[in-house]
Chain A
Amino acid sequence: MVVATADPSLTRMLAFALDQARLPHVAFRSGTALLRELLAMPVGPHPTVVVLDVDLPGVDGHAILERLGVERPNTFLIVVLSSHADESVQVRSLLAGALDHLAKPFNVRVLMAKLLRWTAISMRCEASL
């Protein structure tokens, strides 16, 4: 699983929660590094779950979503975190290919339940969403 947020406290919270759930994860703090890594990642049989904070330095979350939609369609299961709960922001995330959009403050236990579910779905998928 990939976690991308510029907030170190949020990174630590998600790392703790993912460790508790025994979900292996790697963290990124910049949109540029994340995008480079995701584009270079070999396409495996199962889609990778990505927790993506919209407010990233470098390239923002929406731009990453749009780029992945073009260059790596059906390769990632992406859940977007954002401090914006506006309808338009949520619709934009979902139309750009996000699986879900969670506005802050979000319930960490609910997020974890969703991540476990999506990870299970990802393991059943053959990279075709």
Chain B
Amino acid sequence: MTLDTLVVALIVEGTLILVCLLVLVLLRLYLAARARAVEAGVRLLEPALHGWLVQNADVHQIVELLRRLAPGVAFRSVARLATPYLTLERQQTLAPLLRHETWVREMLRHGQSRLWWRRFDAARLLSIVGGEGDQALIAALLHDRSAAVRLVAIDAAARLGGALVDIELDGLPLRQDAVQAYQLAALARYPGVGAAALLPRLLPDAPPDSLNAWIDASGALASPEALTRVRALSSHPRAEVRLHVARALRRLAEPDTVPVLLALLADADWRVRAQAARALGALRVIQATSALAEAVRDRSWWVRYRAALALAQIGGDAREALLVVTRGEDALARDMSILVAGLSSAAVVEMSEV
């Protein structure tokens, strides 16, 4: 390689680095300018928002103020204020007033953009202002090629319910765990809508993978109607399904749940027994004390761990039962009960949820 070639390579490389640095600086300046514009938008909206939220003042003032802002700034200002303050009730009041505003229509046109971040913004805006007429666009965004867009579209779908929730529930078993967790959190914000869609799906002959996801969804929604159906699946022939049933039932605090969980605590599969112990602890079932104390002597580490945590969670006589095990002859049970008995109540709560 000659010296000339090296010099040319050096110049090209240096130029590329400079261009990259320039792009980074310009991007940073752009983002800073946008953040300042949004902050100004938020400040402009705040007095009207305060009046509406605290004193029930006229909401139309907020709509008027948003018209003065550039579409992107109006959208980001609303999105920022919606997160902490706009309860579903307030959102239902504001959404129809904003939906046909020019800036909203302009932002929603980005729902079909080739750039994912524009579709993302459109999906986010739909989660705030979307109405019945937006079902087709939301359905398309639910199937978007970008995972980020799909995640945000879930919020919009859950808010509107109907066929959109069916699309979500049908796709639930195919999602990755993190997406599924977000999907369930979005559905949990509208529990009635999600529960109604789940009820016809919770059948013993449903495909097991789908059934497991729907059982988890019932638990996340904590819907008594859906969880009553889940309870009826406790004798499902597949251990995987019984495991999900045991986990979900910790959200159904009813007397009829107790014998079902006690039966699951004696299941042949250790994963089911562990989840049943966890549910009995979460529900603070005092009647389960002796069964849980026995489960601290289980041959499976996880069952011993969950049972000991459950006794600590229930407290009172159950905690006494745990302390008795610390002095028992079974070495494995003794080690586990000593470990759990030494935890603070906050640690017990935290570890029980993991």
What is A's interface to B at a CB cutoff of 8 Å?
Answer: 7, 9-10, 12-13, 16-17, 20, 62, 66, 83, 85-88, 91-92, 95-96, 104-109, 112
- Using Cβ atoms and an 8 Å threshold, which residues of chain A touch B50? 12-13, 16-17
- Using Cβ atoms and an 8 Å threshold, which residues of chain A touch B239? none
Q: How far is the CB of B249 from chain A (nearest CB, A)?
A: 14
Q: How far is the CB of B345 from chain A (nearest CB, A)?
A: 5
Q: How far is the CB of B128 from chain A (nearest CB, A)?
A: 11
- Using Cβ atoms and an 8 Å threshold, which residues of chain B touch A107? 87, 89-90
Cross-chain pairs A/B with CB under 8 angstroms, 8 sampled: A9-B81, A12-B50, A85-B185, A87-B353, A88-B353, A105-B82, A105-B86, A105-B90
- Using Cβ atoms and an 8 Å threshold, which residues of chain B touch A88? 349-350, 352-353
Q: How far is the CB of A113 from chain B (nearest CB, A)?
A: 11
CB atoms of B87 and A13 under 8 A apart: no
Q: How far is the CB of A15 from chain B (nearest CB, A)?
A: 9
A95 touching B345 in the complex, CB below 8 Å, given contacts A12-B46, A105-B87: yes
Give CA–CA (A12, B222) in the complex, Å.
34
Q: Is B346 an interface residue (CB 8 A)?
A: yes
Give CA–CA (A106, B86) in the complex, Å.
7
What is B's interface to A at a CB cutoff of 8 Å?
Answer: 42, 46, 49-50, 53-56, 80-87, 89-90, 185, 188, 222, 251, 345-346, 349-350, 352-353
Q: How far is the CB of A63 from chain B (nearest CB, A)?
A: 10
CB atoms of B80 and A66 under 8 A apart: no
- Using Cβ atoms and an 8 Å threshold, which residues of chain A touch B54? 13, 16-17, 20, 108-109, 112
CB atoms of A104 and B350 under 8 A apart: no
Among B54, B83, B345, find the residue whose CB has the most chain A CB atoms closer than 10 A: B54
Give CA–CA (A9, B53) in the complex, Å.
14
- Using Cβ atoms and an 8 Å threshold, which residues of chain B touch A83? 83-84
CB atoms of B85 and A13 under 8 A apart: yes
Q: How far is the CB of B313 from chain A (nearest CB, A)?
A: 10
Give CA–CA (A110, B50) in the complex, Å.
14
Q: How far is the CB of B251 from chain A (nearest CB, A)?
A: 8
- Using Cβ atoms and an 8 Å threshold, which residues of chain A touch B89? 107
CB atoms of A108 and B85 under 8 A apart: yes
- Using Cβ atoms and an 8 Å threshold, which residues of chain A touch B87? 105-107
